[in-house]
C-alpha cells in the first residue's frame, strides 16, 4: 500500500477539508510559518504520482482535489497497524488503544455505544 509522508499527509488533510482548492487556498490553510510555494508544489507533484490527488486545469491554474477518501486512507492505516503490531488481533489493538490513550469515562462510554451499535448491525 502506498503511503503518504507526514508532510504529504498534512497537505492531504487540508485538501480533504477544502474538498478542492488552488495552490493559494492550500497555502492559506497552513498555519504560520507557511511552507514555501515550491515545497507545496513538490508535495502536490508527489501526491499526484502516488494517485492520491488529481487536478483540473482552470486557465493556467490547477485546481486540486482528492482521489482518496479520508476514511479509506485511515482504515487502511489502522488495519495495517493491527496486522503489523497486534498480530492481526483487533481485540489486542482495542485493549492497547483504550488503556494507553487516557480516554475519559465519557469517551469510553461513547466507544462502548459505537461498539454495541456495530454488534447489533452484525447480528442482523
27-38 pLDDT tens trace: 999 999 999 999
Pairwise CA distance, residues 109 & 111, whole Å: 5
On the question of pLDDT at 43 being above 90, the answer is yes
> Which pLDDT score is estimated for 94?
86
| 12 occurs within a structural domain | yes
On the question of pLDDT at 50 being above 90, the answer is yes
On the question of pLDDT at 69 being above 90, the answer is yes
C-alpha cell at 100: 494507553
Same domain, 52 and 104: no
The answer to whether the predicted template modeling score (pTM) of the entire model surpasses 0.75 is no
Instruction: Give how many domains the chain has, as a whole number.
Output: 2
Instruction: Determine what percent of the chain falls in helix, strand and coil, rounding each to the nearest 5.
Output: 65, 10, 25
| 84 occurs within a structural domain | no
- Give tens-digit pLDDT for 76-97: 888 888 888 888 888 888 888 8
C-alpha cell at 103: 480516554
CATH number of domain containing 27 = 1.10.10.10
Residue 113: how many other CB atoms lie within 10 Å: 10
In angstroms, how far is CA 112 from the centroid of its own chain?
24
On the question of pLDDT at 1 being above 70, the answer is no
Amino acid at each position: 500500500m502506498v503511503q503518504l509522508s507526514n508532510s504529504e499527509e498534512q497537505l492531504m488533510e487540508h485538501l480533504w477539508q477544502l474538498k478542492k482548492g488552488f495552490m493559494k487556498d492550500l497555502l492559506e490553510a497552513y498555519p504560520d510559518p507557511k511552507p514555501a510555494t515550491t515545497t507545496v508544489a513538490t508535495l502536490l507533484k508527489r501526491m499526484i504520482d502516488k494517485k492520491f490527488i488529481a487536478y483540473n486545469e482552470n486557465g493556467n491554474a490547477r485546481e486540486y482535489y482528492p482521489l482518496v477518501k479520508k476514511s479509506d486512507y485511515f482504515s487502511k492505516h489502522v488495519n495495517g497497524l493491527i496486522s503489523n503490531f497486534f498480530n492481526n488481533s483487533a481485540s489486542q489493538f482495542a485493549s492497547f488503544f483504550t488503556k494507553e490513550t487516557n480516554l475519559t469515562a465519557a469517551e469510553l462510554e461513547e466507544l462502548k455505544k459505537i461498539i454495541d451499535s456495530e454488534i447489533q448491525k452484525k447480528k442482523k
